[in-house]
Structure 1
Amino acid sequence: MIDWKGVFPAATTQFKNDGSLDIDGTQRVYDNLIRDGVHGLIVLGTCGENNSLLPEEKIKVLEAAREVGGGRVPVLTGVSEFTTANAVNYVQAAERIGLDGLMVLPAMAYKATRREVLTHYRTVAGATGLPVMVYNNPVTYGIDVTLDMMQELAEVKNIVAIKESTEDTRRITDLYNAFGDRFTVFCGVDDIALESLMLGTAGWISGLTSAFPHESVAIYTLASQGRYAEALEIYRWFMPLLHLDTIPTLVQCIKLCEQICGRGSEMVRAPRLTLTGEDRRRVIEITEKALATRPDLSKYGL
């Protein structure tokens, strides 16, 4: 049984100027997000640059996340490995460390067949007692975990949730029509978050929350109270930023936003590089405009 709902930022991993892992900085990011009211954390997802870390570094981040979370909010880790065996080893380590759940991607790099994807999920879920969220992101990873595939995965008791990132909001209604409350459904795309909440998702796994947690939580809170017109006011203000979550350089954009907001560093690991030129100017302009026009959340009683 899980009670995952609300805003779960896909939190960033912090690096020092020399590219080395900054555990203290990463813990500050996590702690500040929790203090600012988020309902859970996703660590070592896409924004956490999972595949840019060495295996021993991933373990350090998981231990740091468990220490900071301290039972205050659920802490989940992305599972983004190149082989099923590596994914099994990773989830077992996460369970030993004491994380609360797993957000599992199909195996990286290889575009698996339907049978291979299902076998990967069954094998990884079967190797742990932790609850598993399926991360379905065909736009980025080229594999769609379809409704009929979820029908088969429904037989696996600890597969309990799905992060739905097809960018097609119709899929949310299809999931509820097909499975009722069998799976907890999260929106995984920032710029369809409010629409998804209105269609009944339990929450929103968000990139831009790392820079603007108060506004993200406000949108969820208002939507959960049926105050959609008020949520829409904040959402429209937020939208230029939210669009940054859906482009190839989303990690660099989000980390630059964090830096401008005084919440973290823009440092990324190669092959990612920090933004330059027009791309950098545009993100700075959007972020600074958002800061200058930030909504007064007290008018909503928040």
Structure 2
Amino acid sequence: MTINEAKGVYAIAVTPFHDDGRINLDGIGRLCDFYAEAGACGLTILGMMGEAQKLDAAEATEVIRRFMAHSSVPVVVGVSSPGFAPMQRLAQEAMALGAAGVMVAPSANLRTDDQIVGYYANVLDAIGSDIPLVIQDFPLAQSVVMSPAVIRRIVNDNPACAMLKHEDWPGLDKITQLRAWQADGSLRPISILCGNGGAFLDLEMARGADGAMTGYAFPEMLVDVVDRARQGDIEAAMDIFDVHLPLVRYEQQPGLGLAARKYVLHRRGVLSSEAQRRPGPELSPAGKGEVELLLKRMSRHDPRANIG
């Protein structure tokens, strides 16, 4: 299955570090096993929550190499960059190493619809029009607003556009509009996977999303919600989602949310260290106490949160 047909959960993988800031390359295999065991049907690496901006070029290539060597599911690689030259290098290296596609967010200086459409045409001209492309629509981070009409233009003009990573907020009506255009044939089919830490995943699935491309300390929950929704049982999906919503909300905190996620993954034995590479905030003792309280409360309804 190509990524334009992707359904399910593409987990945004964290990048494991040692306490001193070195990349824990040996820990990548354990991460791949964890996400596969959780039911993820794909991985996305070197995204914002993968701390890609803190890696140099050689480190980024080696991280891709390690994930590709261990992953049993398709891998999408984030290659966003202020310049096309480093984007091209990383995209072509990723594909040579076996990636299923690459993800690019719009440059933050884009303002008009024509600028946004032109930017993605230039991206594909730079990296290669045969590389499957994931459009990252995350206006809260990039300050670039892509209307449904702009997304339709980009997708229809560029056959390599295979997936939308939908992270608009509010953005539920955008999913409805895109699906309506796909139904009437004015937008060719692409996969729509949703991000934002899963904060609206239950409702996004009800609007017609194909799944999630996001991270969370319990990716099993994301898989369960998507599976129930795809089976047509939105109420069951919401029941599962509601149990985890307090921790999902906690992970929404800019910067600190990744610290919370890594703390829980460390507590679960997935990471050998909860460290982020500097600069990056750390959870205070009070913050860790709050996360522990949330885990305790979650465990009353989901035994997976009972991590000792």
Q: Same fold (TM over 0.5)?
A: yes
Q: Could you say what secondary structure the match of 2:280 adopts?
A: coil
1:240 aligns with 2:238: no
Q: What does 1:42-61 align with in structure 2 at a 5 Å threshold? A: 42-61=44-63
For the 8 Å contact 1:10–1:46, the answer to whether it is kept is no
Q: Could you say what secondary structure the match of 2:136 adopts?
A: strand
Q: Deviations over 1:178-235 (max 9, x none)?
A: 3445321111121100111111111111211xx2132221111111111222222211
**176, 179, 188: which one aligns with 1:173:** 176
Q: Could you say what secondary structure the match of 1:161 adopts?
A: strand
Q: Could you say what secondary structure the match of 1:21 adopts?
A: coil
Q: Deviations over 1:84-142 (max 9, x none)?
A: 222122111111111011121123xx423334433332222232322111011001221
Aligned residue in 2 for 1:251: 258
Q: Deviations over 1:149-168 (max 9, x none)?
A: 21321210001211111122
Tell me by how many angstroms 1:9 deviates: 1.1
- Looking at structure 2, the residues matched to 289 and 85 of structure 1 have their Cα atoms a distance apart, in angstroms, of 48
For the 8 Å contact 1:36–1:214, the answer to whether it is kept is yes
- Looking at structure 1, the residues matched to 250 and 178 of structure 2 have their Cα atoms a distance apart, in angstroms, of 27
Aligned residue in 2 for 1:186: 193
For the 8 Å contact 1:162–1:183, the answer to whether it is kept is yes
Tell me by how many angstroms 1:292 deviates: 4.7
In structure 2, do the counterparts of structure 1 residues 251 and 111 end up closer, same or farther at CA, with 3 Å as the change threshold? Answer: farther
- Looking at structure 1, the residues matched to 245 and 231 of structure 2 have their Cα atoms a distance apart, in angstroms, of 21
For the 8 Å contact 1:222–1:228, the answer to whether it is kept is yes
In structure 2, do the counterparts of structure 1 residues 162 and 207 end up closer, same or farther at CA, with 3 Å as the change threshold? Answer: same
Tell me by how many angstroms 1:35 deviates: 2.5
For the 8 Å contact 1:234–1:295, the answer to whether it is kept is no
Q: What does 1:205-224 align with in structure 2 at a 5 Å threshold? A: 205-208=213-216, 211-224=217-230
Aligned residue in 2 for 1:133: 134
For the 8 Å contact 1:4–1:74, the answer to whether it is kept is no
- Looking at structure 1, the residues matched to 17 and 281 of structure 2 have their Cα atoms a distance apart, in angstroms, of 13
Task: Letter of the 2:294 partner, please give it.
Answer: I
**Structure 1 residue ranges, 4+ long, deviating more than 6 angstroms after superposition:** none
- Looking at structure 2, the residues matched to 91 and 184 of structure 1 have their Cα atoms a distance apart, in angstroms, of 20
For the 8 Å contact 1:91–1:124, the answer to whether it is kept is no
Task: Letter of the 1:236 partner, please give it.
Answer: D
Q: Which runs of 5+ in 2 are unaligned?
A: none
Q: Could you say what secondary structure the match of 2:5 adopts?
A: coil
Aligned residue in 2 for 1:299: none
Aligned residue in 1 for 2:205: 197
- Looking at structure 2, the residues matched to 111 and 165 of structure 1 have their Cα atoms a distance apart, in angstroms, of 18
Task: Letter of the 1:278 partner, please give it.
Answer: A
Aligned residue in 2 for 1:147: 148
Aligned residue in 2 for 1:112: 110
Identity over aligned residues, as a percent? 24
For the 8 Å contact 2:212–2:222, the answer to whether it is kept is no
Q: Could you say what secondary structure the match of 1:293 adopts?
A: coil
Q: Which runs of 5+ in 1 are unaligned?
A: 297-302
1:90 aligns with 2:90: yes
**267, 278, 281: which one aligns with 2:286:** 278
Task: Letter of the 1:191 partner, please give it.
Answer: A
Tell me by how many angstroms 1:277 deviates: 4.3
Aligned residue in 2 for 1:263: 270
Aligned residue in 1 for 2:41: 39
- Looking at structure 2, the residues matched to 103 and 205 of structure 1 have their Cα atoms a distance apart, in angstroms, of 11
Aligned residue in 2 for 1:124: 123
Cα RMSD for the two superposed structures: 1.9
- Looking at structure 2, the residues matched to 143 and 280 of structure 1 have their Cα atoms a distance apart, in angstroms, of 34
Higher mean alpha-carbon deviation, 89-98 vs 5-14, is at: 89-98
For the 8 Å contact 1:102–1:131, the answer to whether it is kept is yes
Higher mean alpha-carbon deviation, 195-204 vs 81-90, is at: 81-90
For the 8 Å contact 1:134–1:159, the answer to whether it is kept is yes
Q: Could you say what secondary structure the match of 1:47 adopts?
A: helix
